[in-house]
Structure 1
Amino acid sequence: MKSKMTARQRQMIMLLLDSSEEITAAEIAGNIGVSVRTVHREMEDTEQILHDFGLALSRKSGKGIQVNGAEKELERLRIFLQEEKPEAFSGEERQIFELCSLLEAKEPLKLFALSHTLKVTVATVSNDLDELEPWLRKFGLQLVRRRGYGVEITGSEADMRRALCRLAAEHLDQSDLVSRVPRTGGHIVFRKLLSAIGQIRLLAVESLLWDMEWSWTSELTENVYMELLLGLSVCVRRGEIGMVLRSPEEASSLRKSGYRNISGSEQFVNRLEEKLELKLPKTEILYIACLLDRAQESISSADFVYGDIALMDTVYRLTEQAVQRTGIPFQGDRILREGLLEHIELAMRRIREGTRIRNPLLGPIRKDYHYLFRIIRDSVEELGLDFPVPDEEIAFLVMHFGASAERLNQLSRKVRAILVCTSGLSSSRLLGERLRKEMPQLEIRGNASWYEAARMHKEDYDLIISTIDLPLEKDKYIKISPLLTAEEIDKLMRFIHNMTQREEDSGALPEQDQLTAAEAAEDRIRSYRGLLNEIEGLLESFRCCPLDNDGTDLPDTIRQMLDKLRGSGVTDAPEILVEKLLEREKMASQVIPDTGLALFHTRSSNVLKSSLTAYRLKEPLILNGNTEVGTILLMLAPRTLPKESLEVLSEISAMLLDTELVHLLEKGTESEIRTCLSAGLLHFFENKR
Structure 2
Amino acid sequence: MRKVTARQRQIIWLLLGVNEEITAAEIAEGTGVSVRTVHREMEDIEQTLADFGLDLIRKSGKGIQLSGPEDGLAELRLFLRQEKPAEYSGEERKVYELCSLLEAEEPVKLFTLAHWLKVTVATVSYDLDELEPWVRKFNLQLVRRRGYGVEITGSEIDKRRAIGRLAAEHLDLSDLVGHAPQMASSPVFRILLLTVGKNNLLDVENTLWDMEWQWTAELPEIVYMEMLLGLAVTTRRIAIGKGIESGGDTGYPRMSDHRNIAGAEQFVQRLGPALEEDIPRVEILYIAGLFDRAQDSFSAGGIAYGDIELMETVYKLTESVIRRTGLPFQSDRSLREGLLEHMEPAFKRLREGTRIRNPLLGPIRKDYDYLFQIVRAAVEDLQLELEIPDEEIAFLVMHFGASIERLNQLKRSVRAILVCASGLSSSRLLATRLAKEMPQIEILGNISWYEAARLPEVDYDLIISTIDLPLDKERYIKISPLLTGDEIEKLLSYIQNITLRERESIPKSETDRTGREVSALDRLKSYKGILDETVSLLERFRFYPLDNAGIPLDATISAMLDFLKGSGVIGDADILLERLLERERMSSQVIPDTGLALFHTRSSHIHMSSLTLYRLKQPVVLEGNTEVRVILLMLAPRKLSKESLEVLSEISAMLLNSELVKLLEERTESEIRGYLSSELLHFFENKM
Tell me if both proteins adopt one fold, taking TM over 0.5 as the criterion: yes
Please tell me the residue identity of whatever aligns with 1:268: F
Residue 137 (structure 1) shift: 0.5
CA–CA separation in structure 2 for the residues paired with 1:399 and 1:505 = 36
Alpha-carbon contact 2:34-2:182 (below 8 Å) kept: no
Q: Distance in 2 between matches of 1:156 and 1:507?
A: 57
- Show the counterpart of 2:297: 298
Conservation of the 8 A alpha-carbon contact between 1:464 and 1:476: yes
Matched with 1:319 is: 318
- 1:254 is paired with a residue whose SS is coil
Given that residues 454 and 471 in structure 1 are in contact (C-alpha distance below 8 angstroms), is that contact kept between their aligned partners in structure 2?
A: yes
| Greater alpha carbon shift after TM alignment, 548-557 vs 444-453 | 548-557
The whole-number CA distance in structure 2 between the counterparts of 1:575 and 1:307 is: 25
The aligned residue for residue 126 of structure 1 is 125
Match of 2:157 in 1: 158
Maintained 8 Å contact 2:34/2:183 = no
Kindly provide the amino acid, as one letter, of the partner of residue 376 in structure 2.
Answer: R
Name the SS of the counterpart of 2:621 in structure 1: strand
Residue 519 of structure 1 deviates from its aligned partner by 4.4
Deviation at 1:185, TM superposition (A): 5.5
Q: Which runs of 5+ in 1 are unaligned?
A: none
Rounded to whole Å, the distance in 1 between the matches of 2:215 and 2:30 is 41
Other-structure match for 1:537: 536
Matches of 1:254 and 1:518, distance apart in 2: 47
Q: Deviations over 1:202-246 (max 9, x none)?
A: 111211222223332222221121111111111111222222222
In the alignment, the residues of structure 1 paired with residue 422 and residue 386 of structure 2 have an alpha-carbon distance, to the nearest angstrom, of 24
Counterpart position of 1:13? 12
- Matches for 1:241-280 after TM superposition, within 5 Å: 241-250=240-249, 252-255=250-253, 259-280=258-279
Closer, same or farther: CA 572–279 of 1 in aligned 2, 3 Å: closer
Q: Evaluate the alpha carbon distance shift between residue 621 and residue 395 of structure 1 in structure 2; reply closer, same or farther with a 3 A threshold.
A: same
Q: Displacement, 1:4?
A: 1.2
**Cα separation, 1, equivalents of 2:93 and 2:300:** 38
| Cα displacement (A) at 1:613 | 1.7
Q: Quote how far apart the aligned CAs of 1:522 are.
A: 4.3
Name the structure 2 match of 1:57. Answer: 56
Distance 2:94 2:641 in 1: 48
Instruction: For residue 406 of structure 2, give the secondary structure of its aligned residue in structure 1.
Output: helix
Q: What pairs with 1:152-231 in structure 2 (closer than 5 Å)? A: 152-182=151-181, 186-231=185-230
Identity %: 67
For 1:578-597, what aligned pairs fall within 5 Å after superposition?
578-597=577-596
Find the aligned partners of 2:301 and 2:396 in 1 and give their Cα distance. 21
Question: Retained in 1: the 8 A contact 2:97–2:113?
Answer: yes
Amino acid across the alignment from 2:294: A
Give the secondary-structure state (helix, strand or coil) at the position aligned to 2:133: helix
Amino acid in structure 2 at the alignment position of 1:370: D
Alpha-carbon distance in 1 for matches of 2:149, 2:642: 58
TM-score w.r.t. the length of structure 2 is 0.95
Kindly report which structure 2 residues correspond to 1:553-564, keeping only aligned pairs within 5 A, or say none: 553-564=552-563
Q: Greater shift after overlay, 362-371 or 212-221?
A: 212-221
What is the distance in 2 between the residues matched to 1:630 and 1:134?
A: 46
Segment of structure 1 superposing worse, 615-624 or 503-512: 503-512
Give the Å deviation of 1:302.
5.5
1:369 corresponds in structure 2 to 368
Residue 65 of structure 1, CA deviation: 1.2
Q: 1:414 to 1:556 in 2, by over 3 A?
A: farther
Asked if the contact 1:503–1:509 (Cα under 8 Å) also holds between the matched residues in 2, the reply is: no
SS at match of 2:318: helix
Deviates more, 1:672-681 or 1:43-52: 672-681
The range that moved more, 551-560 or 646-655, is 551-560
SS at match of 2:678: helix
Deviations 1:552-573 (A, max 9, x none): 2223222322222344332344
SS at match of 1:109: coil
CA distance in 2, matches of 1:522, 1:486: 36
Q: Which moved more, 1:131-140 or 1:555-564?
A: 555-564
Shift of 1:530: 3.5
Evaluate the alpha carbon distance shift between residue 184 and residue 679 of structure 1 in structure 2; reply closer, same or farther with a 3 A threshold. closer
Shift of 1:26: 1.4
- 1:467-508 CA-to-partner distances (Å, cap 9, x unmatched) read 122112222222222332222211211222234543564362
CA shift at 1:269, angstroms? 2.7
CA distance in structure 2 between the partners assigned to 1:221 and 1:504 by the alignment: 31
**Bigger mean CA offset, 230-239 vs 555-564:** 555-564
Task: Tell whether the 8 Å contact from 1:420 to 1:464 is kept in structure 2 after alignment.
Answer: yes
Task: Please identify runs of 4+ aligned residues in structure 1 that moved more than 6 A.
Answer: none
Q: Secondary structure at the match of 2:285?
A: helix
1:383 is matched with 382
Deviation of residue 293 (structure 1)? Answer: 2.1
Counterpart contact for 1:305–1:338, Cα < 8 Å: no
**Alpha-carbon separation, structure 2, partners of 1:552 and 1:128:** 57
Q: C-alpha displacement at 1:119, in angstroms?
A: 1.7
2:334 alignment partner in structure 1? 335
Secondary structure of 2:639's partner? coil
Deviation at 1:77, TM superposition (A): 1.1
> Tell me, which stretches of 5 or more residues in structure 2 are unaligned?
none
- Aligned partners of 1:98 and 1:193: how far apart in 2? 10
Partner of 2:505: 506
Structure-2 residue corresponding to 1:86: 85
Q: Deviations over 1:45-90 (max 9, x none)?
A: 2122222221111222222211112222212211111111111111
Name the CA distance, whole Å, in 2 between partners of 1:355 and 1:153.
20
CA 1:270–1:680: 2 relative to 1, 3 Å: closer
State the shift of 1:521 in Å: 4.3
Q: What is the letter of the counterpart of residue 541 of structure 2?
A: F
**Deviation per CA, 1:349-391, whole angstroms, max 9, x where unpaired?**
2222211121111111100100000000011111111232111
1:545, 1:614 within 8 Å by CA — same for their partners in 2?
Answer: yes
- Secondary structure of 1:275's aligned partner: helix
Range that drifts further, 593-602 or 571-580: 571-580
1:517 to 1:164, Cα distance in 2 relative to 1, 3 A: same
1:283-317 CA-to-partner distances (Å, cap 9, x unmatched) read 32222222222223224336323441111111000
The CA distance in 2 between the partners of 1:506 and 1:206, in whole Å, is: 33
The 8 Å contact of residues 411 and 437 in structure 1, kept in 2 or not, is answered as: no
What is the rounded CA distance, in whole Å, between the counterparts of 2:582 and 2:398 in structure 1? 33
Report the Cα offset of residue 438 of structure 1: 1.3
8 Å Cα contact 2:301/2:579 also seen in 1: no
- Residue 71 of structure 2 is aligned to residue 72 of structure 1: yes
Distance 1:461 1:597 in 2: 46
Structure 2 counterpart of 1:475, one-letter code: E
- Find out whether 1:683 has 2:653 as its counterpart: no
Which deviates the most, 113-122 or 285-294?
A: 285-294
What does residue 351 of structure 1 align with?
350
Q: Is the 8 A contact 1:24 1:65 kept in 2?
A: yes
Bigger mean CA offset, 409-418 vs 615-624: 409-418
Which stretch of the first structure deviates more once superposed, 453-462 or 511-520? 511-520
Residue type matched to 2:133 in 1? P
Structure 1 396/558 Cα, relative in aligned 2: closer, same or farther at 3 Å? same
Partners in 2 of 1:562 and 1:532 — Cα distance? 26
* Residues in 1 aligned to 2:266 and 2:523: alpha-carbon distance in whole angstroms: 42
Structure 1 window deviating more from structure 2 (66-75 vs 124-133): it is: 66-75
Distance (Å, rounded) in 1 between the aligned partners of 2:528 and 2:195? 52
In the alignment, the residues of structure 2 paired with residue 302 and residue 436 of structure 1 have an alpha-carbon distance, to the nearest angstrom, of: 36
Change over 3 Å in CA distance of 1:604–1:415 after alignment to 2? farther
- In the TM superposition, what is the alpha-carbon distance from 1:653 to its structure 2 partner? 0.8
State the one-letter code of the partner of 1:112. F
Contact kept? 1:24, 1:63, Cα under 8 Å: yes
Separation (CA, whole Å) in 2 of partners of 1:156 and 1:523: 49
Partner in structure 1 of residue 629 of structure 2:
630
Mapped to 1, the partners of 2:577 and 2:107 lie a distance apart of: 51
**Structure 2 counterpart of 1:490:** 489
Distance 2:326 2:33 in 1: 41
Deviations 1:504-559 (A, max 9, x none): 64362365334444444444444444333333333333222211122222232223
Letter of the 1:61 counterpart: S
Quote the residue 1:45 is aligned against: 44
Moved more, 32-41 or 543-552: 543-552
Alignment length, in residue pairs? Answer: 687
Structure 1 residues 645 and 592 mapped into 2: Cα distance closer, same or farther (>3 Å)? Answer: same
Deviation (angstroms), 1:342: 1.6
Q: Secondary structure at the match of 1:590?
A: coil
Q: Which amino acid aligns with 2:281?
A: K
Equivalent residues of 1:301, 1:584 under 8 A apart: no
